[in-house]
Amino acid sequence: MSSPMHVRKAIHFASLRAKLMQGKGGLALRLLLAAALAAFLLVFAARTLSSPSPSLSSRQQQQQQAGAECGADGKKVPAAVAEALVHYATSNTTPQQTADEIGVSLRVLQRRAPCNFLVFGLGFDSPMWAALNHGGRTVFLEEDASWIASVRAAHPALESYHVAYDTVLTEADALLALRDHPACVAQPDLAAAAEASCRLALRGLPPVFHELEWDLIMVDAPTGWTPQSPGRMAAIYTAGMAARARRPGAGATTDVFVHDVNRPVEDAFSKAFLCESYLAEQVGRIRHFAIPSHREKDGTPFCP
């Protein structure tokens, strides 16, 4: 497995480019990016050269045994990292989040990766999230089937699934009132909530959603800026329920991130269903909640 330091350096330079894209001067940007990538390669080479060198005869024997094949020592840039570097270096698209907002999730990923990372939304930042979680499993849930096909064509290694929403943004006030409905908050069980007709409980999720314990969940979808768009009400609720329902034990806490909390729905629903008592950090438009398993102790209140 590649060194975590290599991964962090690679992602640092991809993030650097995301900052620079917001500046002016395309030529200067590309020159700076080229310098950054060159610096990464120099660091990689320096680390390699600083390693103790075997004697010439020993090295010759190793080359003969390995067939002197390029890359025989296994020291390669991870595929997800390499793809992300090439993607952001050769396109004009940048992640939807700012560098400071990305930093909130990055700090958690540096501590917990490789892990199980669930992302509501498939966007321009998806290769970055997959690269940051190198060695783990990153799954994307997307509302637009045609967009999934388009992204898969460009990034076939990304794992994504289509999810249908039956809510609309204009229902937000009525759905927020379900915070006090027993069907939605009585127990940490999404399936039970769905059977009890809690309208916020997402149905038809792919099997992988129920098969894995999620360490990180990012809510950056579905769309929520027009009256008839689905809104993120159900996604936020479902993320919180997945966190509460995970098996108890050491490390049974799920880090949940909600983007665009400057908007009324994301603001109100994240506070109501992820709970202000679980709020760990807010930077710009992103909030980070650390939600423990509610199966650890029977009778744990929905929001302590």
Summarize pLDDT for 140-179 with one digit per residue, the tens.
Answer: 999 999 999 999 999 999 999 999 999 999 999 999 999 9
DSSP designation for 102: H
| pTM confidence score | 0.76
pLDDT tens per residue, range 70-85:
666 666 778 888 777 7
**Distance (Å, whole) CA 83 – CA 252:** 32
* Three-state DSSP class for residue 177: helix
- Asked if 217 and 105 touch (Cβ cutoff 8 Å), the reply is no
Query: How buried is residue 266: exposed, middle or buried, by Cβ count under 10 Å (0-12/13-18/19+)?
Result: buried
**Distance (Å, whole) CA 300 – CA 278:** 13
**Distance (Å, whole) CA 95 – CA 215:** 22
Provide CB contacts within 8 A for 284, sequence distance 6+: 98, 100, 101
* Three-state DSSP class for residue 173: helix
- How many residues appear in the chain? 304
Q: Span 81-96, mean pLDDT?
A: 78
- Asked if 291 and 278 touch (Cβ cutoff 8 Å), the reply is yes
Residue 21 pLDDT greater than 60, yes or no: no
According to DSSP, the β-strands at 216-219 and 253-259 are parallel
Residue 215 pLDDT greater than 70, yes or no: yes
Structure tokens at 197: 């007709």
Residue 33 pLDDT greater than 80, yes or no: no
Of 134, 124, 81, 105, whose CA–CA distance to 221 is shortest?
A: 124
Please give the pLDDT value at position 80: 80
Q: Percent of the chain at pLDDT above 70? A: 75
Q: Span 202-224, mean pLDDT?
A: 97
Strand ranges inside 157-278, DSSP E? 159-162, 216-219, 253-259
Residue 182 pLDDT greater than 60, yes or no: yes
Average pLDDT across the chain, whole number: 83
Q: Span 52-70, mean pLDDT?
A: 53
**Distance (Å, whole) CA 2 – CA 45:** 14
Q: Span 24-47, mean pLDDT?
A: 48
Distance of CA 184 to the CA centre of its chain: 26
Residue 12 pLDDT greater than 70, yes or no: no
Please give the pLDDT value at position 114: 97
Please give the pLDDT value at position 86: 80
